[in-house]
Structure 1
Amino acid sequence: MTARALGPERYAPLATFWSLLFVAGPGFFVPLEQEVGRALAARRARGDGGRPLVLRAAAVGGALAVCLIIATVPAAGPLARRLFAGDSLLVVALMAGLAVYALHFLSRGTLSGNGRFRLYGFLIGIEGVLRLVFCVALAVAGVKAPGMFGLSLVLGSLLAIALVLRGRRGLLIPGPPARWSELSSALGYLLAASVCVQLLLSVGPVAVQLLATATQRAAAGQFLTARVIAFMPIFLFQAVQAPLLPKLSGLLAAGRRDDFRRMVLRLLAGVVLLGACAVTATALAGPWASRLLFGSGYSVTSFDFGILSASCVTFMVAQVLTSVLIAFRCYARMATGWLIGAVVFVGVTAAGTQLFVRVELGLLGGSVGSALVMACLLGGVTRRHTTPTDAPTSEATSRPRTA
């Protein structure tokens, strides 16, 4: 809808804004959601109220959001010029989005930790509906300013929070004081890994916009629409991935090593097999699907679709290995894998010349690098591991948020 309403050139800065917000927002605040949900659930099981914990988490999330916004202020000019085609309203939307995302993911963690899963799903659903309604209204009104669409996306999230939480009782029950350790001693590793995960997942259009010449002003929008199609398997993978970590942790805790190994190998084989089919289908049908969904101005080549799809498959392999390492409580090894993948992405992209191909190969190289590093680190763990006494429940980096 938005891509057709704005056209390729005007859509490019909005695509860049959305990708950048998705790197920073979910990247920094998803671990907070998951740790709040885990800690609140543990308190509920003990019969303790969670208000002190939520307030402490709110302080962490608020401080992080303020730091990110402060860091954005001096970069506002360069951001507007280099990434947003001079639209300073998108910079305002970015800063507002950081604050709203902090509240959004804290709210999600509070809902899940209190067992309010119906409200959790309602929050996600109404957020999407409100964004769609606002974008349709702007398109019907003939608005052509990308910044207005950016603000509408942020406003949709804020209103969804207000509608879902208004008048809800029992979410902030008084309880014993919360210690910092309740939010997890591994939060730093989870945060670093989460940012790198979202970087490899969403940074492509930002890199394209930075590297594009004056004659390639529509490139970021074209790249984002191609990435949306090529990364469709990620959405399907979420259904498999959601119960994966609890299942793996349970097998380890029960000492069922053979079942654990068979489950991981079957899942990896399935991802590779289905991924090969997805790469072939996307390379063949991707250009046609792009023209059908977004219009003729957004089409890219079959070669581009093939590389993007391959990067999606290797990204899913890395996600499986992430769940395995978290099940073993090897947070540092997991974070190291994603950090090296991010470094590989930067290096490969910087070394290339052709705009789309250099970014696509960077994404592919980053995902392959992360998967290989985690596979190597996992080998050492499985040889010497002893069954953990306390299986983790955090899924901060094993469930990436897709734009």
Structure 2
Amino acid sequence: MTVGVLVVGLSGFGFLAVVGNTLSSTEAVAVTGLYMIITIVGPGLFYSVEQETSRLVSSGLAGGVNPATGLRRVAVLSLLLSGAAVVVVLALSPLLVSRNFGGHTSFMAWLVLGIFAGAAIYFVRGALAGYGEFGTYSVTLIVEGAARLVPCLALAVIGSANQNLFGLLFAAGALVAALPAISRLRTRVRTFEPAGTMDSVEAVHDAQRFGRIAMSLALLATATLLTQLVSNLAPLLVSAKMVDQPAVASAFNFAFVLSRVPLLLYGPVQSMMMPGLTAATVRGDHAALRRTMRKALMALAVIGVPAIAGAGLIGPWAVVTFFGAEVRPPAAVMALLALSTMLLLVSLVFQPALVALGKQRTVFVAWIVGTAVLIALMALPFDPIDGAVVAQLIGPMVVVVIAGAGLLRATAPTNPAPVVTQSS
């Protein structure tokens, strides 16, 4: 899993490095625009599918219930969610093409492909995580990273760099990654091996009801989409406001992406946490859940301070050296963006615990309020980059406060064990 996480994280870094060093500033802004939108829409909508699928499978195994029925229902809902997302992005296509894709209508096709690819890979990974198939899960990460980076490197080496090919390869990477996992997943679905007792059969069956899954996905999809908006909205808005300064906008976009690398690495860690958190919730073991949270927060504290310092010290040099940026971003901007990333990671530590506890509505409220604060701050008449940095700090901070308070209430020692199917 460690290798897979590193490969998929570094492949995004490498992809943008190839883009920055082989395309013009205008073309690079278009490709990074596609990169950012797929990064927002894909995980934003479909990480909820991964979380819900993992929760259904792991709670079914812990409670002695075959999760096959729940898996089929999540698959149907995921397909419906994909269709709705395509309708929305097609409606927004005039704005996206003119503001973010540099006038290239072909990028809309790559965006649609990226949406369906995201639905496939997150469903597959959620099921794999629930079954504890982290070896196969890590293979999907490696394949996704390689499918995006290796062909782009080859094109750059032979002198055939092309923004449309880069867009296609990035969008298709997730779909290619889903293929090697399908046969293993089919085997696990056909061979039901419960990992726990039959004590929670009624509650787990209730969790697999179509309406219950649909409600949970609606709350989580909204929350995770807002997670991606809060995490990644700034470069899109900066690019839209600075169309007459593409070199400055491009440098900020690269700086922003570099500061967000830890978020790319953390997604699979959440997936590894979910089965254990869900099993602890089924048992009503809040003490185990609190111990897991403490360990995760301590780990973030250990890596957070050097990461922020490193971003300020070597971040500007890395943006110019590796991405080919024509403008050097300020060290303070890099350090503050890294601090924003640490705040987002804290919120992502809280989120799987709240989902395991059935507190999807708390997650929903936290990200609704955090997103509203971020957008309001970015709408103020600041310098585009200064406003983006301030908004990216305050918005995640609001999410951390609301989610943390909800988690403390839900795991207080005096609270009774929750019913795993609640969405409150």
Verify same fold: TM over 0.5.
yes
Separation in 2, partners of 1:49, 1:322: 23
1:173-228 deviations in whole A, cap 9, x for unaligned? 3999x7315637532222221111111222222122222232x2234432232123
Separation in 2, partners of 1:328, 1:35: 12
User: Once structures 1 and 2 are overlaid, which stretch shifts more, 284-293 or 227-236?
Assistant: 227-236
Q: 1:379 to 1:356 in 2, by over 3 A?
A: same
Q: 1:290 to 1:127 in 2, by over 3 A?
A: same
Separation in 1, partners of 2:345, 2:273: 13
TM-score computed with the length of structure 2 as normaliser: 0.79
Report how far residue 345 of structure 1 moved. 1.0
Aligned residue among 364, 372, 378 for 1:349: 378
Q: What is the identity percentage for the equivalent residue pairs of Structure 1 and Structure 2?
A: 24
The answer for the alignment partner of 2:35 in structure 1 is 18
Aligned residue among 367, 371, 374 for 2:396: 367
**Local SS of the residue matching 1:170:** helix
Separation in 1, partners of 2:132, 2:297: 31
| Residue 230 (structure 2) pairs with residue 230 (structure 1) | no
The answer for the alignment partner of 2:174 in structure 1 is 157
| Residue 337 (structure 2) pairs with residue 308 (structure 1) | yes
Q: 1:377 to 1:47 in 2, by over 3 A?
A: closer
The answer for the alignment partner of 2:7 in structure 1 is none
The answer for the alignment partner of 1:398 in structure 2 is none
Separation in 2, partners of 1:5, 1:103: 31
| Residue 238 (structure 2) pairs with residue 221 (structure 1) | no
Q: 1:269 to 1:118 in 2, by over 3 A?
A: closer
1:319-373 deviations in whole A, cap 9, x for unaligned? 2333454454332122211111111110111114212221121111111111123
Separation in 2, partners of 1:165, 1:256: 33
| Residue 169 (structure 2) pairs with residue 140 (structure 1) | no
The answer for the alignment partner of 2:101 in structure 1 is 84
Separation in 2, partners of 1:246, 1:171: 16
Conservation of the 8 A alpha-carbon contact between 1:328 and 1:388: no
Separation in 2, partners of 1:326, 1:110: 16
Aligned residue identity for 2:310: A
The answer for the alignment partner of 1:401 in structure 2 is none
The answer for the alignment partner of 1:279 in structure 2 is 308
Aligned residue among 234, 237, 254 for 1:207: 237
Q: 1:254 to 1:182 in 2, by over 3 A?
A: closer
Report how far residue 3 of structure 1 moved. 2.0
Separation in 2, partners of 1:257, 1:53: 26
Aligned residue among 354, 361, 375 for 1:332: 361
Q: 1:257 to 1:42 in 2, by over 3 A?
A: closer
Separation in 2, partners of 1:145, 1:211: 26
Separation in 2, partners of 1:172, 1:296: 48
Aligned residue identity for 2:139: F
Aligned residue identity for 1:108: R
Separation in 2, partners of 1:393, 1:129: 40
Report how far residue 293 of structure 1 moved. 1.8
- For 1:2-401, what aligned pairs fall within 5 Å after superposition? 2-43=19-60, 46=64, 48=66, 50=68, 52-165=69-182, 170=187, 173=190, 179-181=209-211, 183=213, 185-214=215-244, 216-234=245-263, 244=273, 264=293, 267-268=296-297, 271-272=300-301, 274-297=303-326, 299-326=328-355, 328-378=357-407, 380-381=409-410, 386-390=415-419
Separation in 2, partners of 1:303, 1:179: 50
Conservation of the 8 A alpha-carbon contact between 1:189 and 1:335: yes
**Local SS of the residue matching 2:92:** helix
Report how far residue 119 of structure 1 moved. 2.4
Report how far residue 281 of structure 1 moved. 2.3
TM-score computed with the length of structure 1 as normaliser: 0.83
Separation in 2, partners of 1:140, 1:114: 41
**Local SS of the residue matching 2:23:** helix
Report how far residue 93 of structure 1 moved. 0.6
Report how far residue 304 of structure 1 moved. 1.1
Separation in 2, partners of 1:123, 1:44: 23
Q: 1:352 to 1:302 in 2, by over 3 A?
A: farther
Report how far residue 251 of structure 1 moved. 6.5
Aligned residue identity for 1:55: R
Conservation of the 8 A alpha-carbon contact between 1:226 and 1:299: no
Q: 1:85 to 1:151 in 2, by over 3 A?
A: same
Equivalent residue pairs, number: 392
**Local SS of the residue matching 2:218:** helix
User: Once structures 1 and 2 are overlaid, which stretch shifts more, 272-281 or 54-63?
Assistant: 272-281
Report how far residue 26 of structure 1 moved. 1.1
Cα RMSD between the aligned structures? Answer: 3.5
User: Once structures 1 and 2 are overlaid, which stretch shifts more, 345-354 or 218-227?
Assistant: 218-227
Structure 1 segments unaligned to the other structure (5+ residues): 395-403
Separation in 1, partners of 2:71, 2:295: 39
Separation in 1, partners of 2:71, 2:246: 44
Separation in 1, partners of 2:268, 2:174: 23
Aligned residue identity for 1:334: V
